[in-house]
Chain A
Amino acid sequence: MNQAKLFLAVCLLCATTSGVARSEDRVDVFACEPEWAALAEEIGGDRVEVFAATTGQQDVHYIQARPSLIARYRQAELVICTGADLEAGWLPLLARQAGNRRVAPGQPGLLLAAEVVPMLEVPVSVDRAGGDIHPYGNPHIQLDPHNIARVAKVLAMRLIEIDAASRAHYQSRLQDFETRWETAVTGWEARGAALSGMGIVVHHRSWVYLEQWLGLDELGSLEPKPGIDPSASYLAELLAGLEGEDLQLIIRSAYQSDRASKWLASRAGVPAVVVPQTVGAVPGADDLFSWFDTILDRLGASGR
């Protein structure tokens, strides 16, 4: 009896480890951010094996190196990342260490979402003295649901290129997703109409696509420059600048410390909230749909 149990345990262990090691007939997808992992699941369904390199609780600018990242990148047939230097701190290093030709630049296996959507804040001239200017524009594109739809189309095309045998599967899943997404976007836009013109202060300048989509009015940011703590005079200036403005909300991502926004909230007398910057950033934002539902909830849009 005991031997039988041991045998069973060994079998289970083998089964789980071999399952992790390699998926034979599924397309291996490596997603840098949770929103692209969720999108790959939507379009690929059971024909893809998706690995997300980061979680909604992490700052995607900086991540700790783990061996599994390199291993997963090495076996990936499709890599989907935001690009536009968002992952500049680690993606090039990861690609170099993994040495996977199928997902090299120019191959169908590498999909950089920022290359298939219209970018905001692309500088006219790149001048290092101007501080942290991204030469490709603001990379936080995932916060406009129309961008998600644009990426979905290209993602389906890439999956078909890689796994032509499942063409019909990907096409029908894309169509199904697009129908549901369009309906959802219409709903969000109806709910969000009341938010148009609402004054907000952001922690980090990562919300421009959301602001453009919903017509929010960014009155300032708590960080004078990305990753740099505000100085006393900067905060005083920010407060003075808000005088007479219609500030209603201070928003930050899930991974950012609440100190700066609480400081401003207590002085300006408006609430500070965490708005999920991606899938899984806050409880309830578990897939692409509930993620945008939660964004609108947290911004205070009424109705569902």
Chain B
Amino acid sequence: MNLTGLDADILLPGFLAGLIVLATHVPLGREVLKRGIIFIDLAIAQVAGIGVIAAGAAGLDPHGFGTQIAAVAAALIAGLFLTWTERHFEPVQEAIIGCLFILAATAGLIMLANDPHGGEALRDLLVGQILWVGYAQLLPALAIAIVVLLIWVPARRRLGRGVFYVLFAFSVTTSVQLVGIYLVFASLILPALATRRLSFGPALVAAYAGGAAGYALGLALSALLDLPSGAVVVWALAGVALLISLLSRRLA
């Protein structure tokens, strides 16, 4: 037991980052689950990483705005590519996403052979650590999350596939930098999985509440046990999701 880290001041920015990530990932995760394209977030994040490496090769500052643009642009191209493949090769869409993931990951390794600085930037992008989040990073992420939600939630049935992939590319690129790829995957899939039996409205409420509880519990546990926060939050989210899943089955 260790009470030194149990300080709202230390844990609050991470918790807020978690809420922002959940805000978009809960509704998008439901769609991802429905379409059966679970690994799309890994693929999009890796392609965004290619953008970062390319920006590094072009001599852009790895922490600057230009690198962000490059990451989002690469993710958008991947989103548009996946829209196209879904239209033409729908039965094998998940396999195509898997292939995109390994190709992007290994393309990164090949490009990095001559640029170790790109490696640092790539690590920053994919392994964002929730405790290092500062308030200054939260504002742009919040702005993007609000725009994504305003577009997606009211009009999700009328919007085409292209819009989904574009919004998804934006959300994943920003959230991966805040909390890292493991937490993005967990926030996307676990709440959606736990509430899949419920209809859209109730599912959203249960998933948001469960997700927030998971982040709070995980951060507190990581402080008490002095363990890496991101990893503990993933397990807390899984625990809460299991509980919600059992409860919703009883209700249904």
How distant is the Cα of A74 from the Cα of B129 in the complex, in angstroms? 19
Residues of B within 8 Å of A, CB-based: how many? 35
Interface positions, chain A 219-236, Cβ under 8 Å from B, are 225-229, 231
Main secondary structure of the interface of B (DSSP, over half): helix
Q: Provided the pairs A128-B117, A132-B117, A227-B119 are in contact, do residues A66 and B59 lie with their beta carbons within 8 angstroms?
A: no
Are A66 and B222 neighbours in the complex by a CB distance under 8 Å?
yes
Q: Which residues of A contact B98 (CB under 8 A)?
A: none
A116 within 8 Å of B (CB atoms): no
**Nearest neighbor of B117 in chain A, beta-carbon distance:** A128
- How far does the alpha carbon of A71 sit from the alpha carbon of B5 in the complex, in Å? 5
- Tell me the interface secondary structure of chain A in the complex: helix
Instruction: Indicate whether B6 reaches chain A with its CB closer than 8 angstroms.
Output: yes
Q: Is A68 an interface residue when CB atoms closer than 8 A count as contact?
A: yes
Query: Is there an interface contact between B4 and A68, defined as CB atoms closer than 8 Å?
Result: yes
Whether A68 and B223, one on each chain, are in contact in the complex, defined by CB atoms closer than 8 angstroms, is yes
- In Å, the complex CA distance between A97 and B135 comes to 10
Whether B3 contacts A67 by the Cβ 8 Å rule is no
- Taking residues whose C-beta sits less than 8 angstroms from the other chain, chain A's interface range is 20 to 34
User: Judging by beta carbons under 8 Å apart, are A67 and B132 in contact?
Assistant: no
Per-position 1/0 for A61-73, Cβ under 8 A of B: 0101111111110
Query: When the two chains form the complex, which single residue of A17, A65, A89, A90 contacts B228, counting CB atoms closer than 8 Å?
Result: A65
Residues in A whose Cβ lies below 8 Å from that of B140: none
Q: How far is the CA of A71 from the CA of B134 in the complex (A)?
A: 15
A-B contact pairs, 22 of them (CB 8 A): A65-B229, A65-B230, A66-B226, A66-B227, A67-B4, A67-B10, A67-B219, A67-B223, A67-B226, A70-B5, A71-B10, A72-B4, A89-B120, A89-B123, A93-B129, A96-B134, A128-B59, A128-B117, A132-B116, A132-B117, A226-B116, A227-B116
In the complex, besides A66-B226, A74-B10, A89-B120, 10 extra interface pairs with C-beta distance below 8 angstroms are A65-B130, A66-B229, A67-B223, A68-B5, A68-B226, A71-B5, A97-B13, A131-B114, A227-B116, A228-B112
